[in-house]
Each structure stands twice: as structure tokens, then as C-alpha cells.
Amino acid sequence: MRNAFIASSAMYVPERVLPNAYFNALLGEDVDTWLKENVEIYERRWCAENESTADLCVAAAQKALQQRGLSAGELDLIIVATDTPEYISPSTASVVQYRLGAAKAGTFDINTACAGFVTGLDMAAKYIQSDQRYNHILVIGAYAMSKYLDLTDKKTVTLFADGAGAVVLQAEENTDRGYLTSLLHTEGQYHDWMGIYAGGTHQPVSPEALKNKDHLLKFVRKFPKELNPRIWSRMIEQMARALSISVNEVDFFLFTQININSIRQTLDRLNIPHDRTHTIMHYYGYTGSACIPMALSEALEQKKIKAGDTVFFISSGGGLAFASAAFKF
């Protein structure tokens, strides 16, 4: 049977480093203590003024291709998962395809907010499984949310950051590694609780929208703390059942990095040791759809994931959208 496996994984972050002390000065109060003690964020990376989402994508993609020894011309499809696109239209993926020189690759963007990368993994794996024409697919999660932050809003400006992660999915025949199962879920009643609400057809950019800062990221209402741990743990249990394994037989977990406490609570609910995951928010902040491929890249580099391991990817983002996928390495 034909399957898709993760052939390479890479990440890229901008050069600009912002320690917590930067926000103490910006906001005129001590936010460093709260960030360190409550969410364990110490610094993050932001794009330069002339740096954009496509720049992050291309840099991560080039590393992933080089790691696998592939040329861009061998790619059959490029999927970019982002909710901070290069433009409203056309797609960021088309820009990336041109800059990489991936002449034969089709392209599209997906936006399920911070669940986008895992959604893209799910889609790419199924393209490869179902169509012989797709042998190498580049999936990128990218985030340049610093461009959409209100510098006076301490609820958002201190948490969100920029980066990109990329993987190459490759086709392989008669293999026991690669894609195993996946699950998508949405809680659409939360669609208006957090987001960037101006700039689309519902509320085009106008002087009033700019005055109200509706073109910038906003937390409109506070999400229930138990929401992510409850749904993440349920999705883990559902995927384990689909694979006829126990949760404890899963070797490693990679989660959306929005809150380290939610990750620990999820693992505790399932009686999973905390060392079966990897977190990156400490030095990169929250990087949305880029955070899981960035965490994957670091975990592989640090040899926390080895050949034969079953890895669960668990993500969530605005909407609220949830996506999970299981792969064997």
C-alpha cells in the first residue's frame, strides 16, 4: 500500500529577538515576572519591518529541501498553512512556489488558524495515498502575527511571535511508516471570541475599523481554561482507539504551543509523562500554525523522536478549529 511519510523537517525564525524586558519598557509595567512564572515565555522573535510571511516560508522550505537532498523542481504540491498571509489574494503558496523555483508544483493556502499545519499534514498525506502523481509535497506552517499586534494590548503583544516550520511528505510503497490516522473537529460557536475581524468581506477596512483597531488581533472573550485539555485529550483517545492501541503506547506528542499549562494538563489527564512532549514557547513565544512543525524540527534535532516512534500531532486555533494526526517515524 502507498503511504506518505515525513521525509524532512526544518524551521526558520527571524533574527530579531525580543526579551520580556522589552515589554516591561513598552507597557510601563513588569510583565516579565508573569510571563516567566505563568506561561514560561522568556523571549520571542519578530519579523523585521521588511520581512513577511513568504520570507519565513521560503527560508524554512529551503532548509527542509536541503535536508532531504531534493530540488524544488521535484515538488508536486506546496501547501501553506497560515492566517497571516502575504496578501488577501493571491495565495502565499503561489509566492513561495515562484521564489523556490518549484515549476511543476501546484499550490494552495489553508486557513484553520493555528490548526492549519496539522490540517495540511492530513490533506497532503491523503493526496499521496490516493493519487500516484503526488510523490513529494511541501507543507509549511507560517506565522507573522507581529504585523497584526496592538502594541498597547498586553494580552496579545507579549505572547504572539513569528516563525515558520516546513516538512516534506514523500510517497513510499509497502511501508509500515508514515501516516496512520487523523481527526478534524470544530467548535464554531467560538468563532467571534478571538481573531482579526476587519479586512474581509464582513468588515472591510475603513477609517472606523482602523480607529477601533479591528484590523489587529483581539481577544474578545476569555476562553474556558479546560477547553483545550478536554478536546485535546479526547482527540488523542479517539486516534488511539482508531489505531487499536492504548494512549500509553504513543511514543511522543506535539501540541499547539499556546499555553504550557494546557499541554501539561492534557498529559496529566491521560497519565502520560511530561517528557513525552517538547515545548518551544520559552524562546520563540507563540507562533501559531508554525509552532508544531518548529517543535517537530527541534525534537528531531535533539533526538527525542527516533525511527519506529508513533507521534501524535494535536493542534487548535481560532474558530475554534482542532486538527490531529498520527504518524509513525
Q: What class does CATH assign to 179-328?
A: alpha beta
Residue range 2-175 in CATH 3.30.70.60: no
User: How much is the average pLDDT of 315-326?
Assistant: 97
pTM of the model: 0.96
Residue boundaries of the structural domains of the chain: 2-175, 179-328
Please give the Cα distance from 135 to 53 (Å, whole number): 26
**C-beta of residue 312 within 8 angstroms of C-beta of residue 239:** yes
Same fold, 2-175 and 179-328: yes
Nearest to 164 by CA among 144, 146, 148, 147: 144
Q: List the Cα angle 138/127/121 in 5-degree steps.
A: 50
pLDDT digits (tens, 9 = 90+) for 46-59: 999 999 999 999 99
Residue 219 has pLDDT above 90, yes or no: no
Strand 218-219 with 178-186, pairing: unpaired
**C-beta of residue 73 within 8 angstroms of C-beta of residue 98:** no
pLDDT recorded at residue 58? 98
Nearest to 272 by CA among 312, 223, 224, 244: 312
User: Under 8 Å CB-to-CB from 56, ≥6 apart: which residues?
Assistant: 12, 13, 14, 47, 142, 143, 144, 162, 163, 164, 290
User: How much is the average pLDDT of 157-167?
Assistant: 97
pLDDT digits (tens, 9 = 90+) for 97-115: 999 999 999 999 999 999 9
Please give the Cα distance from 266 to 251 (Å, whole number): 15
pLDDT digits (tens, 9 = 90+) for 171-207: 999 999 999 999 999 999 999 999 999 999 999 999 9
DSSP codes, 203-268: S---HHHHHTTTTS-EE-SPPPTTHHHHHHHHHHHHHHHHTT--GGG--EEEE--S-HHHHHHHHH
Strand partners, 79: 108, 139
Please give the Cα distance from 64 to 167 (Å, whole number): 6
State yes or no: cis peptide before 35, omega within 30 of 0.
no
AA letter at 300: L
**C-beta of residue 8 within 8 angstroms of C-beta of residue 137:** no
**C-beta of residue 95 within 8 angstroms of C-beta of residue 54:** yes
Nine cell digits for residue 73: 523542481
